Chain A
Amino acid sequence: MSVPASSTAGLFTETPFIRKKRRTERLAQCLFGAMALAMVIPLLLILGYLVFKAAPLLSWDFLTTNPTNGMRKGGIWSALLGTVYLVVISLCISAPIGVLAAVYLNEYAKDNWFTRIVNLSVVNLAGVPSIVHALFGLGAFVLFARLDRSILAASLTLAIMTMPVIIASTKEALASVPVSFREACWNVGATRWQTIKAIVLPNSISGILTGVILQVSRTAGETAPIMFTGAVFYRNIPEGNVFAYGIKDQCMALSMHLYTVTTQVTNAPEALPYAIAVTLLGTVLLVNATAIVFRVWLRNRKKW
């Protein structure tokens, strides 16, 4: 009895088409993998090079003493503390306003010309170069509001810079909560706020926080906005006191310090800029790592 041709071919026989399909699949995977690797390698190289160059200077004393001898000796305490002040104060201003504004835009606002203008402004504001924010801060906070060049003025400028990005990322996080959850709540007579409080915020908080914390690195790294509004070349503050700066004081900042040491100070030790860069990077990575751990913890509690 003869067997039909189709069954002699069998289920697992290699045809040229199947071979080609598998080759293409492997090629695609390699290509994407290589691109992913291409992101990691430069980062590791940069980090390794920085740490290697900075090694002679890195120590606890370097972090906790003021610069001396025209920046050529001593540590970076006043700059490190200044950066912490700027980041914390600016986020304390931009995060609540940004998050609440995003909740309004995503949960309450009707789709009308006003909402569209606000959304458009947010997008455009997020794209404004930081030097423009710096000039705005100089005009609005330093001169017009008479805050003078101070930590407060610089933090406000940084807050204006980060707010649109926080609004955008928060909106994204809120939008990821399924509409069906909201409708289920509205159907039983819950108000929008009851819905937001019980369902929307608890299920988007990890995304919201990620967006906010990622702005830390941006705030810490920017030089232009603080240059005109509150950061100075040199300032001596009491060592070991974390409340050494007042809100109306001028301060040093790591990003600005790195810039001045590399361009303005002659005969600075070769390792110094590298050590400042490592500190800046370390601070930012520390915050980002905290954010990641926190996000993983929150995601494990995610409920759908």
Chain B
Amino acid sequence: MTQPKKIDVQNLRLSYGPKEVIHGISFHIEPNEIIGIIGPAQSGKTSLLRCINRTIDFTASAKVSGSIKVDGEDVVTTRNVYELRRKIGMVAPLPVGLPLSIYDNVAFAPRTSGMNNRSDLDGLVEKCLRQAALWNEVKDRLDSLGTKLSGGQQQRLTIARALSHQPEILCLDEFSIAIDPVTTMRIEDVLKELKREMTIILVTNLVQQARRLAARTLFLWNGEIIELDTTDVIFSERAKDPRTRDYVNGIFG
């Protein structure tokens, strides 16, 4: 029996005004896999993520066609977009600490869905901060401002916030560009742990990061899928498209 697909994208097209940036791509993502999405800037990686959690709605000029199904439900026609976004944790490239206390940063999402019991919240906040490898550094100052943390800490806070609504899918959009290599490695270890509980989409500029973490890697270039295969194949001479080989070897990009 085939497992149900976690995310199924069929013939997705996206245009901003007259300019089409994603030209009809199709792929699917299995449950509990880490899929790496690599590709140079302006190739549509972030836009793709924004289509999946429907935050593309906030860009007035954006027009989406084709279908994206999450757990079999079409995200474009779903009636409950807030539940959809809760199902998907999103980590943006630059850390965004909300101007709230560290505790409130993590408790924000559960509260918006009506969770107000203090002891439940306490437990969840601790769990998420532990998962994001931040708990030990902030456990004594949960009341201080999230915005006062260092960049790397804020990025882990952002990850904790993305985990706080207990998503089934975690999207990381170039999460490591603003943080140091040591922290990056720690978060990568965290991701390997999280894989057991959720599906992870790892958009990255660092092709080696995809190589370290992803089971499969998708090479997106100028809004088209050049190649999607297991990471072993993408990063070897067996990659079918010469552009893939050139890109992962740093010859263009």
| Residues of A bordering B, CB below 8 Å | 110-111, 180-181, 183-191, 194, 198-199, 202-203, 302-304
A190 near B99 (CB under 8 angstroms)?
A: no
B58 near A303 (CB under 8 angstroms)?
A: no
Per the bound structure, the CA–CA distance linking A198 and B165 in Å amounts to 17
* Among B58, B60, B145, residue most surrounded by chain A Cβ atoms (within 10 Å): B58
Cβ-defined partner of B99 (8 Å) among A187, A188, A203: A203
A111 near B60 (CB under 8 angstroms)?
A: yes
Cβ distance A110 to chain B, nearest Cβ, rounded Å: 6
Which A residues touch B164, using CB under 8 A?
Answer: 188
Which A residues touch B98, using CB under 8 A?
Answer: 181, 184-185, 198-199
Assess A194 versus B112: contact at CB under 8 Å? Given A181-B98, A199-B99, A303-B100.
Answer: yes
Scan B79-120; emit 1 where CB is below 8 A from any A CB, else 0: 000111110011010101111100000001100110000000
A188 near B161 (CB under 8 angstroms)?
A: yes
Ranked nearest first, the 7 interchain pairs of A and B with the lowest CB-CB distance are: A303-B99, A188-B109, A189-B86, A189-B85, A187-B90, A304-B147, A189-B82
Is B199 part of the binding interface, using a Cβ–Cβ cutoff of 8 Å? no
Given A198-B100, A304-B147, 18 more A-B residue pairs with CB atoms under 8 Å apart are A180-B92, A183-B58, A184-B96, A185-B108, A187-B90, A188-B109, A188-B164, A189-B84, A189-B109, A189-B113, A190-B109, A198-B98, A198-B108, A198-B112, A202-B99, A303-B99, A303-B100, A304-B145
A188 near B58 (CB under 8 angstroms)?
A: no
A188 near B60 (CB under 8 angstroms)?
A: no
Is B204 part of the binding interface, using a Cβ–Cβ cutoff of 8 Å? no
Which A residues touch B176, using CB under 8 A?
Answer: none
Assess A187 versus B112: contact at CB under 8 Å? Given A180-B92, A303-B147, A304-B99.
Answer: no
Chain A residue at minimal CB-CB distance from B83? A189
Which A residues touch B96, using CB under 8 A?
Answer: 180-181, 183-184
Cβ distance A150 to chain B, nearest Cβ, rounded Å: 45
| Chain A interface SS verdict (over half) | helix
Is B67 part of the binding interface, using a Cβ–Cβ cutoff of 8 Å? no
Per the bound structure, the CA–CA distance linking A303 and B104 in Å amounts to 13
A188 near B162 (CB under 8 angstroms)?
A: yes
Cβ distance A190 to chain B, nearest Cβ, rounded Å: 5
B55 near A183 (CB under 8 angstroms)?
A: yes
Assess A186 versus B109: contact at CB under 8 Å? Given A180-B92, A203-B99, A304-B147.
Answer: no
Per the bound structure, the CA–CA distance linking A184 and B83 in Å amounts to 15
Assess A184 versus B85: contact at CB under 8 Å? Given A190-B109, A190-B112, A198-B100.
Answer: no
**Chain B interface category by residue count:** 20 to 34
Is B217 part of the binding interface, using a Cβ–Cβ cutoff of 8 Å? no
* Among A186, A188, A202, residue most surrounded by chain B Cβ atoms (within 10 Å): A188
Per the bound structure, the CA–CA distance linking A293 and B96 in Å amounts to 30
Per the bound structure, the CA–CA distance linking A188 and B83 in Å amounts to 9
Is B153 part of the binding interface, using a Cβ–Cβ cutoff of 8 Å? no
Is B155 part of the binding interface, using a Cβ–Cβ cutoff of 8 Å? no
B92 near A188 (CB under 8 angstroms)?
A: no
Within 8 A of A (CB), among B152-181: 158, 161-162, 164-165
Per the bound structure, the CA–CA distance linking A198 and B84 in Å amounts to 21
A180 near B94 (CB under 8 angstroms)?
A: yes
Is B53 part of the binding interface, using a Cβ–Cβ cutoff of 8 Å? yes
A188 near B158 (CB under 8 angstroms)?
A: no
Which A residues touch B109, using CB under 8 A?
Answer: 188-190
Cβ distance B86 to chain A, nearest Cβ, rounded Å: 4
B162 near A187 (CB under 8 angstroms)?
A: yes
Cβ-defined partner of B161 (8 Å) among A110, A184, A202: A184
Scan B42-58; emit 1 where CB is below 8 A from any A CB, else 0: 00000000000101001
Chain B residue at minimal CB-CB distance from A181? B98
Assess A186 versus B85: contact at CB under 8 Å? Given A191-B112, A303-B100, A304-B147.
Answer: yes
Which A residues touch B165, using CB under 8 A?
Answer: 188-189
Per the bound structure, the CA–CA distance linking A198 and B104 in Å amounts to 10
Which A residues touch B147, using CB under 8 A?
Answer: 303-304
Chain A residue at minimal CB-CB distance from B113? A189
Between A and B, 25 residue pairs with Cβ closer than 8 Å are: A180-B92, A181-B98, A184-B92, A184-B158, A185-B98, A187-B53, A187-B55, A188-B108, A188-B109, A188-B161, A189-B82, A189-B84, A189-B86, A189-B112, A189-B113, A189-B165, A190-B82, A190-B109, A191-B82, A198-B100, A198-B112, A302-B99, A303-B100, A303-B145, A304-B145
Chain A residue at minimal CB-CB distance from B146? A303
Which B residues touch A186, using CB under 8 A?
Answer: 55, 58, 85
Chain B residue at minimal CB-CB distance from A203? B99
Chain A residue at minimal CB-CB distance from B147? A304
Per the bound structure, the CA–CA distance linking A191 and B109 in Å amounts to 11
Cβ-defined partner of A188 (8 Å) among B85, B97, B100: B85
Per the bound structure, the CA–CA distance linking A183 and B108 in Å amounts to 13
A188 near B112 (CB under 8 angstroms)?
A: yes
Which B residues touch A187, using CB under 8 A?
Answer: 53, 55, 85, 90, 92, 162
Per the bound structure, the CA–CA distance linking A198 and B112 in Å amounts to 10
Cβ distance A217 to chain B, nearest Cβ, rounded Å: 31
